[in-house]
Structures are given as structure tokens and as C-alpha cells.
A and B are shown apart, each in its own frame.
Chain A
Amino acid sequence: MNNQIYRVLSRLFLVITLVVAFQLPVLAQEQRFPKPEFETGYEQPDVIQPVSRSPFMEYVDLFVLIAVISVVTWLALYKRSRKGIFWMSLFSLAYFGFYREGCICPVGSLQNIVLAIFDPTYALPITVLLFFLVPLVFSLFFGRTFCAGVCPLGAIQDIVAFRPIELPKWLQKVLGLIPFLYLGLAVLYAATGTDFLICRYDPFVGIFRFDAQFEMLLLGGFLLLIGVFVARPYCRFLCPYGVLLGWMSTFSKKHLSITPAECIQCKLCTNSCPYGAINEPVAETGSRRTGVKTLMNYLMIIPFWVVLGGLAGSALHMPLAKFNPTVYLAEQMVEHPEVTQDLDNIDVQTFLQSGESLDQFVLRAEEIISKFYWGGWILGAFMGLVIGITLVRLSTHRERKDYEPDKTHCLSCGRCMDYCPVKKPE
């Protein structure tokens, strides 16, 4: 009897020991060395958790944006003061550029908007939405006054435009297509959650911060150097946000005018614009009917451009997708299985540690690639449309009597106003 009880007890003891023994390592994994019991009345300090810049300051930025753009609009359209616009742009360069170090900026905000549309989990700050909207709404009513005196990227180029030369019209048109491509790529990469291209390749943010990768500082310096002769190269031939502003400004309700009253065709303003954004008078030639016919012909070709662009874009989807880190890594591991042996390849080693199977990973990459396939179609079709419309605009002439700013490309800097000899009627 006693023996039996002893055996049961000993077995129970064994079970308890085993349970405790197996339980212990689980706890020990968390705490190899348990926190000591201090005897000297030591008080443990709190973990330092520094707070970030108050979110209230973002509303200050927004207020400054609205205030500055309102003042610049007033200066450009009503006060007609180039000097005023110049000083405002210097202020913007100091505030949005050097003080805020180039962030938050409307140019980059368009990617947040795209990401918010395509990724429902992304929380879009309300200030970023307004930073995107305010300059566009102003542009829809008053032209690109944002470019004139608010954008720090524009301001830094504007002050170095010492010796602007006029580029041939064809070159301006060809280079003018780049911003559309840049916009399309920025939207594609933001929509697929791959990257924020505009921020990554912002050439001047490094100058604002006095700190960047060497290549980016080099690019910024190079653009500023070119900017001495080709005024505001980034704004005219790269800026993707400028495309949107241009669309708005083309159909703006009001716009800066060169002359305060009637144009007297004196031609004094023709050389004043460093951006080639003054349209000269054009006489309507030929009969109206042939003009309409040519226009119709060019419009008919647009679908052809769209399909051609779409085909080209979809054909390029693989090289485009390789910019995505997941796609890149999956491709590397499938094409070159030997990389798994490379202990210095942090990405591969981390993936191997993560426990995800290669098949799962490849499946994930293929999902992204299919997004790029359709994105490539849309991007290509968009570029085809842009080329088609550019050709239409090149081949149609609108009768124009006076010297007028080209509302799409005019940056509302106001240089031309100083050249106009006509005085404002009292």
C-alpha cells in the first residue's frame, strides 16, 4: 500500500518537475538574466521617449502656405510688383526651404494622395491633403502663383537665373514631355507602394538640409549651374506637380497679364521672359475649313498614340517592377539560387530567417508584377495621349492679337510686367 502511494507520488513529482522544467526555458527566453532585487534603494529611471514636433506646427505651416500664396497672388495680379514677388519667394525659400528643410511640400504631397487612394490602410494627414489642394485651387483661379513665390524649389532656381538663354521651341516641347513621364512614374510607384520617387530624387532638399547623398548634392548643384543659363530647369522640364498646376492654370479664371491695360504691340516684353512663356501675336492663315480638317486628322491619330504607348508601357513592366524591393529580391533568388549561400547578403539572409517559403514570396512578387503590368499599360497610354495632344497643339494655331502669357507654362514671376511701358489707368 505504502509502496503504491510512494510510486504515485513520485510519478506526480516527476510530472511536476518535467512541467516546470519545460516551462522554465520559455520564461528564460524572455529574461536570460532576471532583473536583480536591489538592496540599496536604487530607483530605475524611466525610458527616455522624446516627443516629436507638435502636430500643431503643421497647421502653422498650412497657415503660412495660404498666407504666402494669397499675398503672392495679390502681388502678381493686382499690385503688379515683381519686386514684391521676389521678396516673397526669398521668404518661402527661407521658411519652406531652409527652416522646414523642404518638407512638407505640395510637389511631394501628390504621392501621398495617390497612396491614400490606392492603399486604404494608409492614413493621410489632413494637412498634407490641404498642401496638395491649396496651390491647385489657387492655380485654377489665378494661375501658377504658387510657382512664382511659394515653392522653395522654384525660388532657389529663380535667384540663380542670371543669364537666361532662349531654348529652341522644339527643344522646349520635347523636354516639356519629361514632367509628364515623371508624373506618371511617380503615380505608378506611389500607387504600387514601391517608393516615393519625387521625394527620393528631389535635387534641392539636400541643399536645404546641408546634408544628403553626394550624388544628390551633385545633381542639385548641376541643376543650379544649368539654371544660370536655362532658367528654372527643374520647374520646366522635370517638376511633376507643375503638370497639374499647368492644367489648372491653362483654364484659370484670372491670370497675370503682361500689360495693365491695352497692349500696344511694342515688343518690349518679348525678351523679358526667361521661361519662353510669352505667346506672340499670330495671324490666322488659310481658310477655317482646312484648319478644322487638319485638327480633326490629328485628333484621329490620338487613339493610335494611346494604344502604341500602352503597348510600350506594358512591355516595359518588368524593368519597371524591378525597382520594387520584393520583386527584385524574389527575382534574384529565383534566377541566382546561389545568393542564398552569400552570408553577407543581408536581404537574402533576413528573408531566410523570416520563415516565409520562397513559393509564397514569389507569389507575393508576382502580385506586384501584375500591378505593374496594368500600371504600365495606363502609364504608356497616358504618355501616348500626352504626345498626341502635344502634336495637336503644335499643329493648330489660334489667332492672337496681343502679347500674352502662355497660361500653361507661365510661372507668374512677373518679370514681364516691369518691361511694359503702358501705365495702369487711374
Chain B
Amino acid sequence: MHGVETWVAAILTLCIFSFLYRDNPFYKFAEHLFVGASAGYLLAVQYQNVIRPNVIVKVSHGNLLPLIPLFLGVILLGRLWDRTSGLARWSIAFYVGIYSGIAVPAYMQAQIFAQLADAVKPWGTGWQMVNAGLILLGFLSVLAYFFFSAPHGGAHGLIARIGIWFLMVAFGASFGYTVMARVSLLIARVQFLLRDWLHLIPGA
């Protein structure tokens, strides 16, 4: 980015940061611009990268098959009116069917089989064995916690409680990393303001 573009980006960045003081018209402007610009960009992307190459170009070359998804897409817009909203069910059914079909084998192979196989591999010796035992205990107890078909009482309740402890440690780790992620973005914005806009720190 150069010149005017850097200035616009910097001013919009400051508009968003102004919310830290309190809600104000500059923030509201930037917020509304963000919503409109994001939706507009998304639409343009979908047109240029999906509808044009997959439908318009193909149909113009005599391939009429893409008219099927085009038809399904158009009837999805039927949801805008009460009288035609029922038509959209066909498109939703098609879309949901596809991703349900993909989910079954993909989850089975990558998330169930691969993870179960790893959970029961040989434990090793010494600390490795202790850690492997802890992982198995944690994994089984978390599964016990998520088993809601029976009340969490007796031995099940006790194991589920251990599961909660493991979950809390995992959530604590995730929280730590989330702070890091947000701070990273903040650092990048401050780097942009100080380096690209104000030239107070040396370039990359």
C-alpha cells in the first residue's frame, strides 16, 4: 500500500480503535462500512470465482449440466417470498445431502479411526508410559463427560468429573493461545501505524 491507501487504512484503523474510548460516530461509520464492504466483496468473489467459471463459461461453451446447480441456486432465492419459500427446500436438501455424505467417511477415517489407533498404541517406558496413561485416562474421562444418555452419577459421575478437569486444562491452554492470537493482530496493526503510516520504526 502506498500514499492515499495507507492513509485510508490508517484512518479506518483509528476509527475502530476509537471504540476503546466509547461508542462514537467514527466507529459506527467504520463498523457499517465493514459490514457492507465484506458482504460486497464476498458477493463479487462468488460471482467471479464460482458463478462465472462454473456456470456462465461452461454454459456458453455448450455444457448445459451447470444449469442444474443454477436452477437449484435460483429456487433458493424463493425463500424471500412466502409463496415460493417451499421451493428452497430442494436446494437445501441437495446441499445438506452432499456435506452429510462427505462427513461420514471423512470423520470416520481421520477423526475416529486414526485417533483411536493412536490412543491404544504401545505406551513405552518411564515417563512416556505415565504420560500415555494420563492421555488415555483423560481421553476416556472426557468421553464419559460427553455421554449424556445416562445421568452423571456414581463411577460415571466421578470419571466425568475427571474429564471436566482435563477439559479445563485444555480450555486454559486455548485461552492462553487466544490471548496470543489477538495480541498478534494488535501488534500487526500497531506495526502498520508506526511503520507504514508514521515511519517511526524501520521497515521490514
Answer yes or no: are A and B bound together in one complex: no
Residues of chain B touching chain A, judged by Cβ–Cβ distance below 8 Å, are none
Residues of chain A touching chain B, judged by Cβ–Cβ distance below 8 Å, are none
